[in-house]
Amino acid sequence: MGGLDFSFFRWDILGPFIAKGFVFSIWLTIVATIGGILFGTVLALMRLSGRKWLDWPAAAYVNTMRSIPLVMVLLWFFLLIPFAIGRPLGAETSAVITFIVFEAAYFSEIVRAGIQSISRGQVNAGYALGMTYGQNMRLVILPQAFRNMLPVFLTQTIILFQDTSLVYAIGAYDLLKGFETAGKNLGRPVEAYLLAALVYFVLCMGLSYAVRRIQTKIQIIR
């Protein structure tokens, strides 16, 4: 039985297999992060509204999503939703919708904690200037909260990028699928999976280092 052979680890050989998957993984991460933050902010504001008819549905949604494995939600949107609407969504579309609605639950908790971290004095100062609740939230609270939340947002985005590998389960062509395809076509599946793990490790470690640098700068500004 031959040993491991990584001689094929060159861009001219792997590029045609992994380029498409890499682009999709990055695109999915960006879209899901933006969509998740926007939807998550709405959920957080609903939970902080003080109105039960807004708080309870948002809390139920967040707690439900945080209690279900992501791969199950992927399968729901890929298999059950098309069955309900009578037409397929496609693997990529299912992945985008799933990641936005799933990650929104996690981003909402980050936003809620960030808003609650702003001192009551800042809130009262806004009201003292004659601002409405919406103006106070938009001009005083959220800008400070988002600055405080930036490192946590970025950390969650790194986790999101790692989770994009789960779209493999519904057949979407992501970075992991690209390496698997390369391994099958080149006859080196074990090496391909090892290289995929190495690429994910290097990317996530690099991003984690960048997050630590950003967090340090934010602490200095404070």
Would the pLDDT of 1 be above 50?
Answer: no
**pLDDT for residue 49:** 86
- Least Cα distance to 196 among 172, 168, 170 occurs for 168
Determine the 3-state secondary structure of 49 from DSSP: coil
Rounded to 10 deg, the angle between the 142-163 and 189-221 helix axes is: 170
Confidence at 123, pLDDT banded by 50, 70, 90: confident
What would the pLDDT profile of 172-214 be if each residue is shown by its tens digit? 999 999 999 998 888 888 889 999 999 999 999 999 999 888 8
180 or 8, greater pLDDT = 180
* CA–CA distances in Å: residue 151 to residues 31, 186, 219: 18, 40, 11
- Least Cα distance to 37 among 126, 93, 114, 91 occurs for 114
Q: What is the dihedral of CA 99, 102, 108, 109, to 10 degrees?
A: -120
Confidence at 220, pLDDT banded by 50, 70, 90: low
**pLDDT for residue 173:** 93
**pLDDT for residue 134:** 77
What's the rounded mean pLDDT across residues 87-92? Answer: 85
What's the rounded mean pLDDT across residues 103-126? Answer: 87
* Residues near 122 by beta carbon (within 8 Å), at least 6 away in sequence: 140, 141, 144
The share of the chain scoring above pLDDT 90, in percent, equals 53
**C-alpha to C-alpha distance for 38 and 15, rounded to whole angstroms:** 34
**C-alpha to C-alpha distance for 178 and 22, rounded to whole angstroms:** 8
Domain boundaries in the chain? 11-221
6 or 149, greater pLDDT = 149
Residue 97: HSE in the Cβ half-sphere, 13 Å Cα cutoff? 14
Look up the pTM and report it. Answer: 0.88
| Average pLDDT across the chain, whole number | 88
What's the rounded mean pLDDT across residues 47-61? Answer: 92
Q: What is the dihedral of CA 61, 63, 65, 66, to 10 degrees?
A: 160
**C-alpha to C-alpha distance for 39 and 37, rounded to whole angstroms:** 6
Whether 140 and 122 have beta carbons less than 8 Å apart is answered as yes
Confidence at 158, pLDDT banded by 50, 70, 90: very high
Would the pLDDT of 43 be above 90?
Answer: yes
CATH number of the domain at 11-221, out of 2.40.160.20, 1.20.120.160, 1.20.200.10, 1.10.3720.10? 1.10.3720.10
What's the rounded mean pLDDT across residues 64-77? Answer: 93
- Least Cα distance to 111 among 208, 172, 44 occurs for 44
